[in-house]
Structure 1
Amino acid sequence: MGLVQKTDIPTDMKAARELAEQIVTQAEDCGYSAEVVFAIKLALEEALMNAIKHGNRRDPDKHVHVEYSVDSKRAEIRIVDQGEGFDPTNVPDPTADENLECPTGRGIMLMRAYMDHVEFSEQGNTVRMIKNNG
């Protein structure tokens, strides 16, 4: 694993998008394919949006802590919000018939679909994602 970089961003989607671009640029610089870069960007934006919207409830006095490492073999990202947490097993299945027309609720499903490994802390305010290059 490469050098672990740590940063705190405000509870703000503009800051989240800027950080996502920095991480994606590192993946591109390490030779990740466009398909893998897309997967990282999508999952990362979803995770950051969840931390801001659901974890921190858009509270401008809170921040999101991000630790990440990108090298030629894999990208690993850890996102921690200041919310109370949640139980990911209680998130409704977005593919269930009763949820198909709901405009939200697909973030965790997308993160799991596009990353090689996704895990949540027991408290539910931390997500760790890994994407292998190749």
Structure 2
Amino acid sequence: MADPRSLELKLESKVDSVDAAELIVQGLAREAGHPEDEIDHLGMAVRESMVNAVTHGNGYSAEKWVYFSARVEKDGGLRVGIRDEGEGFEPRGVPDPTAPENLLKTSGRGLLLMRALVDEFSVERAEPRGMQVTMFKKGPGAKRG
């Protein structure tokens, strides 16, 4: 890909927005030449983050938005940002889903999953409120950690 491409969207707190963000990222990754397994991984990571933003962050509120950004780097790397307008949480306070007492819980694995599916991942409080997730997948053919 010769020139970097980027987009920024303000999405409603609806399931349709989750689907749209996933499809956009998968399309950008495919266009940048990522293999199908990486395209699937990116889609799953974005879907998980969007579900968290819509449900946990914004509580499906019609008054709150999800801010979505995606940028394809010159080498085909893909950077994605997702920010909600919820009250936020302390990322370091999230229980370890691999701890014995948490293994049978039906939720709480999202951050672990997203970290495993991309090359770089961060989650932090956004200003003035909400949470910001940033993820990056290296370009096709890039050396992996």
Q: State the alpha-carbon separation in 1 of the partners of residues 125 and 27 from structure 2.
A: 31
Q: State the alpha-carbon separation in 2 of the partners of residues 18 and 122 from structure 1.
A: 24
Greater shift, 121-130 or 107-116, is seen at 121-130
Q: State the alpha-carbon separation in 2 of the partners of residues 51 and 122 from structure 1.
A: 12
Q: State the alpha-carbon separation in 2 of the partners of residues 116 and 19 from structure 1.
A: 19
Identity within the alignment, %: 31
Q: State the alpha-carbon separation in 1 of the partners of residues 110 and 4 from structure 2.
A: 27
Describe the SS at the equivalent of 1:95.
coil
Report the alpha carbon displacement of residue 60 of structure 1 after superposing the two structures with TM. Answer: 2.0
Report the alpha carbon displacement of residue 122 of structure 1 after superposing the two structures with TM. Answer: 3.9
2:29 aligned partner, one-letter code: A
Match of 1:128 in 2: 134
Q: TM-score, normalised by structure 2?
A: 0.86
Q: Which has the greater radius of gyration?
A: 2
1:11 aligned partner, one-letter code: S
Greater shift, 8-17 or 116-125, is seen at 116-125
List alignment gaps of at least 5 residues for structure 1: none
Runs of 4+ that moved beyond 6 A:
none
List alignment gaps of at least 5 residues for structure 2: none
Q: State the alpha-carbon separation in 2 of the partners of residues 119 and 25 from structure 1.
A: 23
The answer to whether the 8 A contact 1:11-1:56 is kept is: yes
Is 1:62 paired with 2:64?
yes
1:77 aligned partner, one-letter code: V
2:18 aligned partner, one-letter code: A
Q: State the alpha-carbon separation in 2 of the partners of residues 92 and 114 from structure 1.
A: 19
Q: State the alpha-carbon separation in 2 of the partners of residues 4 and 91 from structure 1.
A: 31
The answer to whether the 8 A contact 1:23-1:70 is kept is: no
Report the alpha carbon displacement of residue 81 of structure 1 after superposing the two structures with TM. Answer: 0.3
Report the alpha carbon displacement of residue 62 of structure 1 after superposing the two structures with TM. Answer: 1.0
The answer to whether the 8 A contact 2:21-2:47 is kept is: no
Aligned pair count reads 134
Greater shift, 83-92 or 114-123, is seen at 114-123
Task: Provide Cα deviations, 1:8-44, integer angstroms capped at 9, x if missing partner.
Answer: 1100112211221022011111110011101101110
